[in-house]
Structure 1
Amino acid sequence: MLSFLWNFMLIINIILILVMIFLERKEPVYIFAWMFLLLFIPYIGFILYLIFGNGPRFRKRKNFHIKKKWDDLYTTYMTKQQEQIEIYEGKEEIYKSLMMFNLNANKSFFTTKNHVKIYTNGKDKYYDLFADLRQATDTIHILYYIFRTDEIGKQLISILEKKAEEGVEVRVVYDDIGSLHTSLSSFQNLIEKGGKVFPFFPSKLKILGPNINYRNHRKIVVIDGIIGYTGGMNIGIEYESRDPKLSPWRDTHIRLEGESVEMLQIRFLQDFGYASHEEIDDANLKEKFKKFFPKKDWSHLRDQYVQIVSSGPDTRGEELKNAFIKMIYTAKQSIDIQTPYFVPDSAFLEAIKTASLSKVRVRLMVPRKNDNRYVDRIISSYVKELLEVGVEIYQYEGFIHAKTMTIDDCVTTIGTANLDIRSFQLNFEVNAFIYNSTTSKDMTAIFESDIQNSHRVTLEDEANKKWYVRVEESIFRLFSLVM
């Protein structure tokens, strides 16, 4: 009987491998990792595949009306956008190719009139966010990967309830896995007052749901269609460094005003459509768009050029990863990277090494205190090969959760995407690409300030690693391809 079950499981697993090869056409290194699990530890491998290896085909899901509207807008303005980039002149002109790449690969409009405010701690971000929410008059749209119902979360929900009572349209989406301990009942009063709240890919089984591998990791707030927030911070007290296990907590978030907010609004509405299955009647579509995309004169804003780039399993490819790689190859003098999770695929890793060997100064900052031993070992497995090609590696004394990259003091990206395979291939992510020397120099100054609270890793540190650490690094790095 045991022999029959073993052989039956092997046959099932072989079928799964053939599906990956001939139907899904995944990368060879990804397939080999799954082959190892499915053939040598078939029962465990099969369970892991059910959790991490499959999910819905998003392109076949019925989309929100906003999707068609967006496609129509894109078709109408594509040529105009290309011409606008071609005639663009400024200190950052050499980065036209990156602008054009994001336009063509991601349908990311190039916006010129924006104001960007940077936050490096949760206290300042929440203060401004809550103040903006209290001033809302028409619509409030909120999407978070983690929405805790702690002190910060309860304060936010209270504000939303009050705005809903005032007649403001409130829409909230939270990821069902990221917000594992948050239930819809926490928003019951808000819903009763007219707010619309939906978990993204909910499952009664939670961690065993069919969509566990696809997580909406985005953080988006859009207020009245004119103010937007995005970046690394979710909703919870830890973002104010109030979690003793992960303090000090360092993060980066931005507040946007201007043309780029429209792009965040489109992204939110698409995700809201997935979560709610709600459609707008054609008769009401025009009226809704007036609220979602109010006409406003932004001529008073100075030129801060911004593109909003998103990626996820509902798109054609790994748009954000490819944009990051394009950014790395575009750099001439310097690259500064901050990320809590550095688990690159081969293409991204080679881009970093190539840049460093080309005498571009590459500085990478990761946490010294990570929230996951598994991830910590994977990150440290890359240290030696990066140091050997000249990359400077800093471990922040605390937990750095920022997801940023700055090149040449001219271009910066700030958003939700980590530099790991999960963010590249599986998560729903969004980043702002900012073409502005003032903003980029501010980010460089922030990086150098963080260095003062960091340990610079050396080859001597690498040589002093314990033998069991090296063993864990090798094993965990292999499994990083599938988890």
Structure 2
Amino acid sequence: MQPFFHPTALHLLSLLHAATVTLGLLTYIALTHSGRQRRPPAAALAWVIALIAFPYLALPVYLLLGTRKLSHRHLARNASNSDGPTLTRGLDLPPPRPCSRFRLNSEGQQALDELLSLLDGAQSSIAVEIFIFREDSTGQAIIDALARAVQRGAQVRLLLDGLGAFIGHRRTARALRAAGVELRWFSPIRLHLHPQFGRGNLRNHRKLVIVDEQRMWSGGRNFASEYFTGDVHNAAWQDLSFILEGDIVQDALAGFARDWAIAGGEPFPAALTTSASHAAGPHAQLLPSGPDRRDDTAHALYINAIHRADVRVWLATPYFVPDDALQQALLSAARRGVHVRLLLPAQSNHRMADIARERSLRELAEAKANIYLLPSMLHAKLVVVDQAFASCGSINLDGRSLFLNYELNTLFFDIVQIGAFTAWFEQQCQHASDYSARPPSWPRDVGEGIVRAVGFQL
């Protein structure tokens, strides 16, 4: 009597059953893991739908990119911030520190000159953390300055994002190593099991230079020509950077040491234990945000501050893709009479982000917020709330910066320093045009909705 099923068919059915069970278990594990990641609702829903509807496609992507926070034992720990400003208490941030010198660089050539002067003044050490380091005239000038520092006997450490920096220019990295620069890649994309496996979506977007453990440079600029002076291939972008001195540099150095250890797979250095300073003079506070923080610090701070705002909320960002909580905070502020102003490029270098922002802009315009569009590319990231603080650094107002990337801003509390940022903001608004909301066509509205559905990745 012939068997009902051919043995080969039975074998294939067994393999199919095993594969189905395995896929189901992995999908369940991924869904459970995703639920513990404390994602924004839209991001969580998108992952759930993808994992259920297309597990064979979404599961490998989730395994590579789905982790949002480091494990609890790897989270940064800071000294108590209970005596800091009310807005920043409970966010596990370094406390406010004196900053004895502050210089804001809004003009590109001046910013480049001051950065190179800072590097050329280094005697003992330089620590650099950057997202993009392009091999162009600006990048080469910085490379030469780092090489000169090594020749003077300074220790030079360079931490580059494993995806953003030196894309296609690894020979420059080899040249830097040959010159004596210590170089590490932060979270390079790997397809094999590794301590950073599953974190390929968590990019290091921080911009930081520390010289002789006494002076720091930070802001929104990367190391490429368009962020400073422009060149024959790229027009100069509007951006901000600044130089600080004072005790705040020690917090920046501690943050760099943690990121350096993460990139090298080394034990984390002990956290600083000093408390907030009550010395006279201007104070500033670092605002690190990202997978190494317990909370989404910048997102929590901004929403809290906007809800408390009485007079003004001024925002400048190249990419505006707010989640529902941030959008509702801005709408509420505008409707109760707070002066909400939003400065954006008329067209950024990311078309998808421009499409994703439209629905939010229309809602804000209807709530009587003032929206200004610059004809040139704006890359500066600035938030000013009342006279409470000005926040400047690497953090964009989009899901990637607020929920995924390693980011670094600085909070300024001094009235004079806040005034320097507001003066720049006012000057930029004079060169901008007013946003005019137009009802979208049906296809446009559908397209905006689809793009916003993946807005947490923009």
Shorter-chain TM band: 0.7 to 0.9
Match in the other structure for 2:305:
327
Which segments of 5 or more consecutive residues in structure 1 lack a partner in the other structure? 86-95, 294-298
CA contact (8 A) 1:367 1:397 kept: yes
Aligned counterparts of 1:466 and 1:370: Cα–Cα separation in 2: 22
Aligned counterparts of 2:441 and 2:353: Cα–Cα separation in 1: 17
3-state SS of the aligned residue for 1:108? Answer: coil
Match in the other structure for 1:236:
224
Match in the other structure for 2:341:
363
1:219 to 186, 207, 217: 207
Answering whether residue 290 of structure 2 is matched by residue 266 of structure 1, we say: no
Task: Note the 1:341-360 alignment, pairs <5 A.
Answer: 341-360=319-338
Match in the other structure for 2:5:
none
CA contact (8 A) 1:33 1:482 kept: no
After superposition, give the CA deviation of every residue in 1:302-328 in whole Å (9 maximum; x if it has no partner): 822201110111211101111112222
2:353 to 369, 375, 382: 375
Which segments of 5 or more consecutive residues in structure 2 lack a partner in the other structure? 1-11
Answering whether residue 43 of structure 2 is matched by residue 30 of structure 1, we say: yes
Match in the other structure for 2:188:
202
For the structure 1 residues 23 and 438, does the alpha-carbon distance in structure 2 shift closer, same or farther, using more than 3 Å as the test?
A: closer
For the structure 1 residues 34 and 22, does the alpha-carbon distance in structure 2 shift closer, same or farther, using more than 3 Å as the test?
A: closer
**One-letter amino acid of the structure 1 residue matched with residue 117 of structure 2:** A
Task: State the superposition RMSD in angstroms.
Answer: 3.2
CA contact (8 A) 1:339 1:365 kept: yes
The structural deviation recorded for 1:130 is 0.6
Aligned counterparts of 1:366 and 1:218: Cα–Cα separation in 2: 21
The structural deviation recorded for 1:129 is 0.9
CA contact (8 A) 2:225 2:236 kept: no
Answering whether residue 450 of structure 2 is matched by residue 472 of structure 1, we say: no
The structural deviation recorded for 1:131 is 0.7
3-state SS of the aligned residue for 2:51? Answer: helix
How many residue pairs get aligned? The number is: 436
3-state SS of the aligned residue for 2:133? Answer: coil
After superposition, give the CA deviation of every residue in 1:278-305 in whole Å (9 maximum; x if it has no partner): 569x9xx9xxx9xxx9xxxxx9xx8222
1:255 to 243, 251, 255: 243
Answering whether residue 284 of structure 2 is matched by residue 314 of structure 1, we say: no
CA contact (8 A) 2:218 2:393 kept: yes
After superposition, give the CA deviation of every residue in 1:235-267 in whole Å (9 maximum; x if it has no partner): 001113526786451111111111211111111
The structure in which a higher percent of residues are helix is 1
For the structure 1 residues 333 and 26, does the alpha-carbon distance in structure 2 shift closer, same or farther, using more than 3 Å as the test?
A: closer
CA contact (8 A) 1:145 1:175 kept: yes
The structural deviation recorded for 1:418 is 0.8
2:86 to 90, 97, 103: 97
Aligned counterparts of 2:233 and 2:41: Cα–Cα separation in 1: 39
3-state SS of the aligned residue for 1:229? Answer: strand
Task: Note the 1:166-181 alignment, pairs <5 A.
Answer: 166-179=152-165, 181=167
3-state SS of the aligned residue for 1:439? Answer: helix
Aligned counterparts of 1:22 and 1:335: Cα–Cα separation in 2: 33
**One-letter amino acid of the structure 2 residue matched with residue 177 of structure 1:** L
CA contact (8 A) 1:415 1:430 kept: yes
**One-letter amino acid of the structure 1 residue matched with residue 244 of structure 2:** L
3-state SS of the aligned residue for 2:157? Answer: strand
CA contact (8 A) 1:13 1:42 kept: no
Answering whether residue 65 of structure 2 is matched by residue 52 of structure 1, we say: yes
Match in the other structure for 2:6:
none
**One-letter amino acid of the structure 2 residue matched with residue 476 of structure 1:** V
After superposition, give the CA deviation of every residue in 1:180-229 in whole Å (9 maximum; x if it has no partner): 515554233433443211110123569x9743211000001000111101
Task: Note the 1:12-23 alignment, pairs <5 A.
Answer: 14-16=27-29, 18-20=31-33, 23=36
The structural deviation recorded for 1:51 is 4.4
CA contact (8 A) 2:40 2:323 kept: no
Match in the other structure for 1:152:
138
Q: Sequence identity of aligned pairs in percent?
A: 26
3-state SS of the aligned residue for 1:235? Answer: coil
Match in the other structure for 1:188:
174
Aligned counterparts of 2:287 and 2:69: Cα–Cα separation in 1: 23
* Bigger mean CA offset, 254-263 vs 229-238: 254-263
2:370 to 389, 392, 398: 392
Aligned counterparts of 1:445 and 1:221: Cα–Cα separation in 2: 25
Answering whether residue 39 of structure 2 is matched by residue 40 of structure 1, we say: no
Aligned counterparts of 2:391 and 2:94: Cα–Cα separation in 1: 14
Aligned counterparts of 2:362 and 2:370: Cα–Cα separation in 1: 11
CA contact (8 A) 1:10 1:39 kept: no
* Bigger mean CA offset, 155-164 vs 110-119: 110-119
The structural deviation recorded for 1:44 is 4.0
The structural deviation recorded for 1:57 is 3.6
Task: Give TM-score scaled by structure 1 length.
Answer: 0.81
3-state SS of the aligned residue for 1:126? Answer: helix
**One-letter amino acid of the structure 1 residue matched with residue 43 of structure 2:** Y
For the structure 1 residues 381 and 105, does the alpha-carbon distance in structure 2 shift closer, same or farther, using more than 3 Å as the test?
A: same
